[in-house]
Structure 1
Amino acid sequence: MPEGFTVIAHKKDPSALVLVRRPPFDICPMCVTKFVVAAYCQATAYHFTLVSVYAPPHKPIEPVLQTLEEVVAMSRSPNIVFAGDLNAKHRAWGPRAGDDRGARVAEFASATGLVFLKDPESEPTYETAYASSWIDAICPRGGLHLAIQIGDTRNEKRKRLTRYAQSELLGALAQEPWFSRVTKSQPASSEALEYILAGFYRVFNHHLKRHLRPVKGRVGGRSWWTPDLALQRKCVNAKRRRFQRCADPTLRSFLKQDYSASLAQFRLRVKEAKRAYEAECHSACSRANISSQSYREAFGKTRPPRLLPPLEREDGTLTSTHLESAALLLRTQIAVDSTATDPLSHTVIRQLASAPYDSSAQDVPFTENEVSDVIAHMPPSSSPGPDFITPLLMKGLFRVQTRFVMFVLNAALRLGYFPHCWRTGRIIFIPKPGRPPQRTTSYRPICVNSVFGKTLERLLNGRIYYILWHNGFIHNN
């Protein structure tokens, strides 16, 4: 499966599946069996249940229809779409006379309020020289009216900040006059500092939006295909037509042997061309970076996007939507700060934190070398916080606007205030390997904070460690 796709299917020998790639809505799997896969999809303006189904022709269709009835009963949305290969014939979706399986499907659709979208005069599901068949169907519920578009449905092109655009962004920030004006002020309260940071993020987001570049789509086609292979394919096709049109049995046998040999040789050349092309691609990737995409695919290091599955509650029931699963994870895996459970030591700390910061003993302001050392030791591959400032951008911003960065960090130190915009983070739940996916204890939460906030936190930690070491509170070992 290409990178970026997520498969919703049964683990052992699935016959039905749902492929997901950057959907504009949230997805929660509802029912995953060998022959039926149902997923609840929810966006801001709409919601529906998508069902992929396959009914094998050599087995009774009743168990599959019973599973579909259970999906209809448990669906959180009245908008339901069924699509799949039912191996059933009926005049509702094909020109041929129906059979017993088709009658059962039609009865099920009538009982559940489904309508058949497929035109009976449409092209067959498959067609050979001797037979053709109409055995698949798409059935939405009657009240669902959504336009279906085939192809790339993204209205807006995805954009990203390239390395060149990042350098241009830093150049624009270096010439921005707002920084020189704001650094002449002296914030006297936490509200003033919050106001300055709000202005900074407005300026930064304005320039960031201007320098984002559209993501180029992958070039389609077969890069390993050559003109020699195209010419050889034409020769093989000509030999095939000559063999099929020959009426002489003796000559036909000779032409068949010649065609088979040419076809085998052509397939061998195609296989060799594919292998040589892939080897060159992998070698080029390895020369650029040993831990490239080729390495990750070869050693199983790729991480496809994951969907949050239904989770098991305390009473044994399962969640039915992604919002219920997220709420259950937050309730069971994230500690809630409550004064009702505070011991005496925490009560004292809470009172100290809420008291006004008024002291005659002021901390020494952060030095430029101190801040530069903290920023230089940031891992460059760390994820950005909600403000989309990466460690590389932070290093560049400190280089072009050193005075502003020092101004903000020292203002927070002088006021004894950690800004609210740096306290906000994104919580990501990482699955633990080898754990049951339906249990809440199988996920480890991490919080992605602002890089600005991480910088201030590490600066404060360094000051605290120095105080502990200077006063002998740290053991020598």
Structure 2
Amino acid sequence: MPNIKSHIPYPQQVLQQSELLLAPIPLQSYQSKLQLPSPHSPMNLEHWRALSEPSSDHSPVLLTISLDPVIIPRPPNLTPGLTDWDYFRHSLDSNINLSIPLKTPTDLDDAVHRFTQHIQQAAWLSSQSQTRPARLQYYNLPQHIRQLITAKRRARSRWQRSRYPSDRQHYDSIANELRNVLSCHRSASYDNYVLSLSEHDKSLWRATKRLLHYPNVSSPLRRADNSWARSDEEKAETFASHLRLMFQPLPDSDPVNTSRVLEFLDSPLPLSLPPPPFTPSDVSFQISRLPTQKSPGYDLITSQVLKNLPRRAIIFLTYLYNSILRTSYFPLLWKFAHIEMIPKPQKILIEPSSYRPISLLPLLSKLFEKLLLKRLFPILETQTVIPNHQFGFRHHHSTVQQCFRVTDQISFALEKKEYCGGVFLDVAQAFDRVWHPGLLFKLKRILPSTYYLILQSYLTNRYSVVCHGEKLSGYIQIKASVPQGSVLGPLLYLVYTADIPTQTSTSMATFADDICLRGIHSLSQVLNDLSSDHSPVLLTTSLDPILELSPPTLTPGYTDWNFFARSSDSVIHLRVPLKSPDELDEAVQEFTLAVQRAAENSSQSPTPNFNTRSINLPQHIRLLITHKRRARSKWQRTRYPSDRQHYERLAYRRFNNKTCGRLLPSAIGIDGNPMQHGASMADEPVPAAPMRCCSENDAISVDDLWPLFY
């Protein structure tokens, strides 16, 4: 920093009469620069956020930088270098014995263990480890740019020797010309690179990942007792403790139903024909279709290793798969998962819940699941187990097609000037809370006894460990959920949620764990049926009957009630976020009564008045709307994060219960007569409407009320 005192032409004075402070005036002007580090910079930046407190003309930014370097260990690999695949096949052929008994579960576990060891030893013996050379970047510049670089170096060398001003001017001229030419060349090269991206060769995906990827950071974890886990071993145990609580069934809310399900599971199975065995050609075909880039499980066997298995190894693997069909036992080693914790985007990384668990299963297990899946699909399709409204994990079904179904019915209701209501539910931890007895209850009623016993063995006694860095946690027993990262997991979840009750008067749209109920004048009936005691037993405690969802199974940010109505030329869209599952039933019933009353008024009057422009709002709400408009307009012009935060603070300002109780019932016209312009809201009594607009903890934003104002 320059010495300010040396640039003061006159001393600092304070005039007592006017209290005027004369600041020092420097003789030279110094340019102040504010540099912000990028998230992609080499520094170990954990996260950053803009502060909303106005401290100066600039928006303060809080940076969290870790002092520990991030050491990314090289993942273990069976084939780290060049591999002699001929020697691999010869070594594996000499170690495999096809004359072994496979009659009991113990024999099957021992055979799987020996087969895995033979593959690993053959891969290690046939591979040569080598160090990767440093990756050098060579830029193929055009000839005229290389000539400019040479001329610039000569001009700089000449000026450094002579120090003549003319040589300095010549050097600056060439340097500026080279800078402009390089800038144009980089721009043209980047344009050509963007045009060359394609979705077929994964180049577009790699470019997107490179832009959106954030560097790994070393952040401590907060334990349940508010202590900190800093080493890799402590972090692995902290993640394991978090996952032990996650992979647990929900508390038993219906003991009678639970005893009924367990009693049915203990009943004897009916006789069924043995399934047809697998052939070596079936196994070879599935191996050839394995993707190359899939991560291996704990055994480190990759798809490349499986594609180089000799004929004798494929026959032995077929023996193992057929013994699973014969004994109805799934090997224990193939139920062991290796969990990697991946940080979620834009989350504070000190909480274990800010990480997403990724389970890595052995490829030999996934290969058997693919073979078994081809046997299960025809049975489920014959019995039409999966409903037509389910578009998740199904061939020729996508989210776009499901959105077309939802918007088509809403548009149809608006065109007929009717009322359409919708309940949008998102079940949190839906796959992690699947109740195993409830799932087996459904599978026993659908599948033959052999397939049921295989899936029963497949779901029970599953274990996993968390890997962080080079440390492993203790064993985690999976007591609930469908296996993550498996092939059969999505299908089992579809079977588990296939019996959601539906009605002909309403429409249901589901995509995996996202549920949308839509109806015209009859939505309250289906919601009452879903929350009544007549719900099927198959809706177990892991996915309670829609409205009886316990708090851990409902995502507040993605669960809301939407009301679409159209009368004459005006459209009303009222959206109320639901913060807890207990408010869902009450809000739905009250809104349904409001819709029915509005429908009765509209049937009496051919053109009911829904002119919401005549609402006389309180002064503080009008000021808030004006400030919100200005903040939104400013943010749309500047796109600064600080302007957006200021806009969001105004948009999501909480209203109290008194204001909402006076505003919303009159706004939607529950009594058929909205407030006229000029009427004072303080003088009007609160309408006796059969609905509760919001509680003290409900957040209704200005955006939610915006369609009612205009």
1:350-400 deviation line (CA, Å, top 9, x unaligned): 979xx9x9x996443223454455445544433211122223433443767
Deviation at 1:450, TM superposition (A): 0.5
Cα distance in 1 for residues equivalent to 2:68 and 2:360: 29
In 2, are the aligned partners of 1:428 and 1:447 still within 8 Å (CA)? yes
Amino acid at match of 1:329: F
Which of 6, 21, 44 pairs up with 1:7?
Answer: 44
Q: Following superposition of structure 1 onto structure 2, how do residues 31-180 of structure 1 map, counting pairs within 5 Å?
A: 37-39=66-68, 161=79, 165=82, 168-169=84-85, 172-173=88-89, 176-178=92-94
Gaps in structure 1 of 5+ consecutive residues: 14-32, 44-153, 245-251
Change (3 A) 1:308 1:157: closer
Residues 344 and 34 (structure 1 numbering): CA distance in 2 closer, same or farther, change over 3 Å?
same
Q: Which residue of 1 aligns with 2:638?
A: none
TM-score, normalised via structure 2 length: 0.38
* Matched residue, 1:247: none
Q: Does 1:239 align with 2:155?
A: no
What's the counterpart of residue 335 of structure 2?
423
- Structure 1 contact 308–322 (Cα < 8 Å) conserved: no
Write the deviation string for residues 158-193 of structure 1: whole angstroms up to 9, x where unpaired: 97848x956x426632563336x5123332333333
1:207 aligned residue: 122
Query: How far did 1:346 drift?
Result: 7.3
Q: By how many angstroms is 1:349 displaced? A: 8.9
- Is 1:397 equivalent to 2:426 in the alignment? no
1:262 — aligned with what? 174
Say yes or no: does 1:364 pair with 2:364.
no
Structure 2 segments unaligned to the other structure (5+ residues)? 1-37, 51-61, 389-710
Which secondary structure state, in structure 1, belongs to the residue aligned with residue 336 of structure 2? coil
Q: Tell me if the contact between 1:182 and 1:196 (Cα under 8 Å) persists in the aligned partners.
A: no
Aligned-pair distance for 1:431? 3.2
Query: 1:327 is matched with which residue?
Result: 237
Contact 2:299 2:362 in 1 (8 A): yes
Mapped pair 1:306 → 2:221: no
CA contact (8 A) 1:159 1:213 kept: no
CA distance, structure 1, for counterparts of residue 381 and residue 41 of structure 2:
49
Deviations 1:216-256 (A, max 9, x none): 32343654578646632441223312441xxxxxxx44333
Equivalence for 1:454:
366
* Whole-Å separation in 1 of the counterparts to 2:301 and 2:39: 29
CA distance in 1, matches of 2:75, 2:293: 25
Q: Deviations over 1:279-332 (max 9, x none)?
A: 78x48985897533x864467545355346334455666544444444333333
Determine which of 105, 119, 142 is the counterpart of 1:190: 105
Aligned match of 2:692: none
Name the CA distance, whole Å, in 1 between partners of 2:368 and 2:197: 38
Shift of residue 468 of structure 1? 5.1
* CA apart distance, 1:451: 0.9
Q: Is the 8 A contact 1:158 1:215 kept in 2?
A: no
Number of residues of Structure 1 aligned to a counterpart in Structure 2: 331
> What amino acid sits opposite 1:365 in the alignment?
P
CA distance in 1, matches of 2:361, 2:377: 22
Instruction: Please give the alpha-carbon distance, in whole angstroms, between the structure 1 residues aligned to 2:76 and 2:189.
Output: 29
Q: How does 1:367-382 map to 2 (within 5 A)?
A: 367-368=279-280, 370-372=282-284, 374-382=286-294
* Kept after mapping to 1: 8 A contact 2:39/2:45: no
- Name the aligned partner's letter for residue 8 of structure 1: L
User: CA–CA distance in 1 between the matches of 2:375 and 2:200?
Assistant: 38
State the Cα RMSD in Å.
Answer: 5.0
Matches of 1:391 and 1:157 in 2, distance apart? 16
Contact 1:160/1:214 (<8 A) preserved: no
Amino acid at match of 1:185: I
1:216 to 117, 125, 132: 132
CA distance in 1, matches of 2:259, 2:98: 42
Instruction: Please state whether the residue corresponding to 1:425 is helix, strand or coil.
Output: strand
Counterpart in the other structure of 1:69: none
Give the whole-Å Cα distance in 1 for the aligned partners of 2:368 and 2:118. 21
* Alpha-carbon distance in structure 1 between the residues aligned to 2:386 and 2:293: 33
Report deviation, 1:438: 3.4
**What is the CA distance between 1:449 and its match in structure 2?**
0.3
CA contact (8 A) 1:174 1:401 kept: no
Give the 3 Å change call, closer, same or farther, for CA 349–202 of structure 1 in structure 2: farther
Q: CA deviation at 1:12?
A: 6.2
1:291 aligned onto 2:202: yes
Partner amino acid for 1:231?
A: T
Q: Which amino acid aligns with 2:115?
A: F
> How big is the shift at 1:453?
0.7
Secondary structure at the residue paired with 2:44?
strand
Does the C-alpha gap of structure 1 residues 383 and 302 become closer, same or farther in structure 2, counting only changes over 3 Å? Answer: farther
Change (3 A) 1:397 1:277: same
Paired AA for residue 340 in structure 2: I
Seen in structure 2, the aligned counterparts of structure 1 residues 262 and 387 have a Cα distance that, compared at 3 Å, is same
How far apart in 2 are the matches of 1:12 and 1:434? 10
How high is the sequence identity, in percent, across the aligned residues? 19
Question: Could you say what secondary structure the match of 2:340 adopts?
Answer: strand
SS of the residue corresponding to residue 278 of structure 2 reads: coil
Quote the residue 2:446 is aligned against. none
Hey, what's the Cα distance between the residues in 2 that align with 1:319 and 1:368? 49
Q: Distance in 2 between matches of 1:238 and 1:297?
A: 40
